[in-house]
Amino acid sequence: MKFLTFFIIIFIIIPYSLFGQWVPVLELPGGTPPQAFTDNGNGRLYLASIGEGGVYSSTNNGVNWVFSNNGINSNLIYAISAKDSIVFISTDNGIYRSKDYGINFVHLLNDIDSSGSRAIIIKDNIVFAGSRFDIFKSTNLGNNWVTVNNGFPQYPVVISLSYYDNIIYAGIEASPGSGVFKSTNSGENWININNDMPIRYPYTLYANENIIMTGTSDGVYISTNFGNNWRLIPEIPGNIGLFGLSSIGTQTIFISAWNYGVYASTNGGLNWIAKNEGLYPDLRLTSLYNLNGYVYVGTNSYQYYPNVFRRSVSEMVFVIENNTILPKDYKLFQNYPNPFNPTTKIEYLINKKCLVNLSLYNINGKIVKELINKEQTPDSYEINFTFNNQSSGIYYYVLKINDVAVDAKKMVYLK
């Protein structure tokens, strides 16, 4: 009995950092680290690698990959963007396009600078590509290009691009005039939105709804109002600008930092938790992306071959330690009794009308039982449930508000 009690206590105090971990899904040849991810809008994931690399694609969430560098006469692929069967890459000698899902590429030399490109995005059927001193725009998927530099400083080097809805964002390296620029009219005019952010090179850019993030040599700056104001995220270390940025909506955010690992936030970037279990110890991360319920990171370890790791979003975000500051719109209470056998009670409180989901997960991150999934009005609620045909051990119950995981707690079931 004493041994059983000790066993239970050990499991209760094990930190959540041991729950789930990153899993390698692609090993690349030495000297070809992952550079950038994208997807084509239909579930196909793409990865561009540098060195003696090329383009990898997966249609089953990274389980299997297809590699191609057919037609690519470059060892430096900086950026990749895709839509349906069309794939564009930016390289040190210009832009390449594939019309067959990234199997074969053609070097585009029409109307566009071939001296090198660091950034490219497809928005609808419009393509924006950054080159050494210009930003180019194509309205027919790369058949013809025009420059759209109005509002940029002289001799701009476009080093990053992103967009959301009808707003295009560009990271510019120039002397003087570096910073983040925004266009609300499809690139015809640009305005600088550095505002209260120091002028730094915006090596990476990410936009989703009102949130914008940029990775700089100071760290990651975030804006929650379309770039009108910025703040440095002090919890995310790093000082060489190599960050991976991604989010699900505006509350669940993922950031990777070279030498420091992956961080997750479920409250719009106010609080963060490191999620590095299973990654190489040196944490040399080059890129990050999320798609189809998974987060992907690229690595360039000095001890191991470059690799792509994958981790379930549910493992990343549904259990955030209780020191996280949570909004006042809800409260999740500890189940009682705990440990329990076989029945226990969970109470929660919501202060606004919203879609509520309360589900149980096992220690492997698999859903065991969905307790509630419906719209509810402001009130306090309690749910009694009984475990049948479940193994003794640790389980987690997770509260989601409008499909965003906001809190979770641990329970112990004893037969």
Spatial CB neighbours of 152, under 8 Å, sequence gap ≥ 6: 135, 170, 172, 174, 177, 181, 190
Spatial strand order in the sheet of 77-83 = 77-83, 86-91, 94-98, 106-108
As a whole number of angstroms, the distance between CA 94 and CA 74 comes to 9
The contacts found for 301-307 with CB under 8 angstroms, 24 or more apart, are 304/280, 305/27, 305/28, 305/29, 305/30, 306/27, 306/28, 306/29, 306/30, 306/31, 306/32, 306/33, 306/34, 306/49, 307/24, 307/26, 307/27, 307/28, 307/280
Picking from 271, 292, 317, the residue at the C-terminal end of a domain is 317
Q: What is the mean pLDDT of residues 147-151?
A: 95
Please give the pLDDT value at position 329: 66
pLDDT digits (tens, 9 = 90+) for 332-372: 888 999 999 999 999 998 888 889 999 988 876 678 889 99
pLDDT band at 266 (very low <50, low <70, confident <90, very high): confident
Which structure tokens are listed for 210? 């009102």
Residue 119 and residue 235 in one domain: yes
Query: What does the pLDDT look like over 295-305, one tens digit per residue?
Result: 999 999 888 88
Mean pLDDT throughout 303-328?
Answer: 68
Among the candidates 317, 336, 364, a domain finishes at: 317
The answer to whether residues 24 and 8 belong to one domain is: no
The pTM assigned to this predicted structure is: 0.75
Other CB atoms within a 10 A radius of the CB of residue 205 amount to: 21
Residue 3 has pLDDT above 60, yes or no: no
Q: What is the pLDDT of residue 199?
A: 79
**What tokens does 131 get?**
């080159």
Instruction: Show the domain range for 382.
Output: 2-12+324-413
Given a cut of 60, is residue 202 above it in pLDDT?
Answer: yes
**Does residue 257 sit in the same domain as residue 390?**
no
**148 & 266 share domain:** yes
Q: Which of 297, 317, 337 is the last residue of a domain?
A: 317
The closest alpha carbon to 117, from 135, 139, 137, 94, belongs to 94
Q: Looking at the structure, do residues 267 and 402 belong to the same domain, yes or no?
A: no
Q: Which pair of structure tokens corresponds to residue 302?
A: 């000095």
What is the count of structural domains for the chain?
2
- Report pLDDT for 198: 86
For the chain, percent of residues with pLDDT exceeding 90: 59
* Those residues with Cβ within 8 angstroms of residue 389's Cβ, 6 or more apart along the chain or in another chain: none
Q: Is the pLDDT of residue 320 over 70?
A: no
How confident is the model over 163-170, as a mean pLDDT?
95
pLDDT digits (tens, 9 = 90+) for 28-67: 988 889 999 999 999 999 999 988 779 999 999 999 999 9
Between the alpha carbon of residue 408 and those of residues 168, 208, 264, 266, the distances in Å are 36, 25, 15, 12
| Residues 313 and 349 reside in one and the same domain | no
Q: What is the mean pLDDT of the chain?
A: 87
DSSP class of residue 12? H
Same domain? For 41 and 168 the reply is: yes
Which residues is 130 bridged to in the sheet? 119, 135
β-sheet with 379-386: strand ranges across: 330-332, 343-350, 379-386
CATH code for the domain in which residue 262 is found: 2.130.10.10
Cβ contact 378:297 at 8 Å: no
CA distance 20 to 24: 13
Whether residue 102 sits in one domain with residue 7 = no
CATH of the domain at 391: 2.60.40.1930
Are residues 345 and 278 part of one domain? no
Write the single-letter amino acid at 276: N
State whether 211 and 76 are in the same domain: yes
How does residue 321 score in pLDDT terms, banded at 50, 70 and 90? very low
361 and 407 both lie in a single domain = yes
Q: Is 131 found in the same domain as 252? A: yes
